[in-house]
Chain A
Amino acid sequence: MNNIKISDIISVWQSIISNIFKYSELLKQLVYISLTQQFKKSILGNAWLVIDPLMSIFIWLILHSAGMFNPGETNIPYPAYLLVSISLWTFFVGFFNTIGISITEAGRMLIEVSFPIEIKVTEKIIINIVNFIITLTFCIVVLLFFGINFNVKSLLFIPSIIPLLLFGVSLGLFFSLFEVVFFDIYLVVKRSMRLLMYLTPIVYSTNIKSGFLGTIAKYNPLTYLTSIPRDLLTGVENIELTGFWITSGIVLIIFILVVQFYYLSVNKVIEKILD
């Protein structure tokens, strides 16, 4: 990755965008298949997009009410806090989970005729965004039920989740290469995602009274990428944005580097899934 020139980055992005236009019909078909297929064999269908976070919330509420777990002071009712946090976490980890297996998943089609793998990645990004829109709509209804007052700043929620999206996509792209050639590394990272969730203020607040978790949360980039969108959506006043801006800048650089690396390396691993 030494000596990456701006012109190299521009040329990779030009190629990605041109391929997306060239294969736009394939992209549409893949999105249609994915959206309709993901719960095709399930009776409840897309309702699972809401049931999944509700089940997680239910577990945490039981632990909370049993006094087994003190999440620290939250600005909004704890169930509402959990709902937004878990939805954001699912949004982030969804990119890692789906993009992470995209090369292997595309194998069946790639063997027929080669097509740019970025079509499969774009499909995964679109599916995750659509799923998140469904979950978010449900979140807003529940937040209204809890009496959360949305304000103009709540609209900033949408742009504020872009860094979280970019970070999830970067992890997904990077580790999708390992999923093919070094499955153990991919598996370790995949298994660590749950631990990472506990090290991020998702089920507890940033004000948690635990020295260890507090220190981890302070240096964990996901703290800023999840807490700022959550605070913006739920109308929290006086939000400190410095950490968010620094983290977002770093994430943007990571994203550009990962896309460059992925683009130069992906063809080398594709043949390994077809051997």
Chain B
Amino acid sequence: MQKEQDNRSEVLVDVQNVSKKFCKNLKKSMIYGFTDLFRIKKTNKIRLRKDEFWALQDVSLSLKRGEMLAILGLNGAGKTTLIRLITKTFPVSSGRINLFGRIVTIYEKNRALNKFYSGRENIKVKCALFQMSRKETMEKIDTILNFAEIKEFADAPFGTYSTGMKARINFAIAFYSNPDIIIIDEGFATSDRKILEKYIAIIRENSHKFGVIIISHNQVIIKELANKIVILKKGKVFYNSYNVSKGLQIYNSYKNNTKTS
């Protein structure tokens, strides 16, 4: 019990005053990228150049083991940018992100998987991408196939799988790769109610083992899973609290006001 309490206070993601800028104009973005190549020295002063804008500004948040953090925001609020900064896919423009533990992602699309290769082969690649050793992968492969309910199609090309099968395999790989941090960015969007309940049940049952960050437009999932909420508004943190139901109320009223205006 004591160990579990200690675990629950363990910080897994620490986002400190993070800002990220992008460029609206593709050609300018490439030109800036080219000039930045030769800018080796780091500078603390960050200014916006023509056509650049702040996608995120001074964002701070944390995720501890056992926490399930829902990030809400209207389209363009910076949710996906924040996720890409946390997964270290994008470098931050300023600020700092510290990660402690193995991070896995569940997205709506399976971009890393190869349609010409079998489900089994794709599991091996994706497990390796999530830093699992060969031994760990071989130990888990049958569990993954069973959970995803695709054992009899394990050696069929991935391209022949249905959207539901792809989504299940994606979830199963992430869940069984011993993650510390699970990022779900609309990862359940293609799942039916029955499979969704299965995901929610298994995450809740094992919630003490990891921290979860969820982005979803489905508020049922958020109500069922989240115990912490952050609302982003135009790239800034607008609300950050453990009171999920109040957070949802605030978000819904903000969303409705935006629609009316």
Contact = CB atoms under 8 A, between A and B. Distances in A.
A25 B133 contact: yes
Contact of A109 (B22, B90, B112, B127): B112
Interface centre among A111, A177, A180 (most CB of B within 10 A): A111
Contacts of A110: 89
Interface in A224-275: 264-265, 267-272, 274-275
B111 A111 contact: yes
Interface in B68-99: 84, 87-91
Given A25-B128, A274-B84, A182 B117 contact: no
B33 A180 contact: yes
A37 B134 CA distance: 21
Interface residues of A, number: 36
Interface string A7-28: 0000000000000001101101
A25 B121 CA distance: 13
Contacts of A22: 131
A56 B216 CA distance: 55
B90 A268 contact: no
A274 B114 CA distance: 18
Contacts of A26: 125, 128-129, 131
Given A111-B89, A112-B105, A272 B33 contact: yes
Contacts of A180: 33
Given A26-B128, A29-B124, A33-B117, A182 B133 contact: no
Given A177-B37, A181-B30, A272-B29, A113 B130 contact: yes
Contacts of B105: 112-113
B53 interface: no
Contact of A23 (B34, B117, B124, B131): B131
A30 B91 contact: no
A208 B125 CA distance: 50
B137 interface: yes
A33 B91 contact: no
Nearest to A181: B33
Contact of A112 (B29, B36, B129, B133): B129
Contacts of B89: 110-111, 113-114, 270-271, 274
Contact of B129 (A115, A178, A268): A115
A112 B33 contact: no
Contacts of A33: 114, 117, 121, 125
B118 to A, nearest CB: 12
B18 interface: no
A183 B89 CA distance: 21
Contacts of A153: none
Given A25-B132, A25-B133, A30-B125, A112 B107 contact: yes
A40 interface: yes
B33 A25 contact: no
Given A112-B112, A264-B40, A268-B37, A23 B91 contact: no
Which 6 A-B pairs rank lowest in CB-CB distance, beginning with the nearest? A181-B33, A114-B88, A26-B128, A25-B128, A112-B112, A109-B112
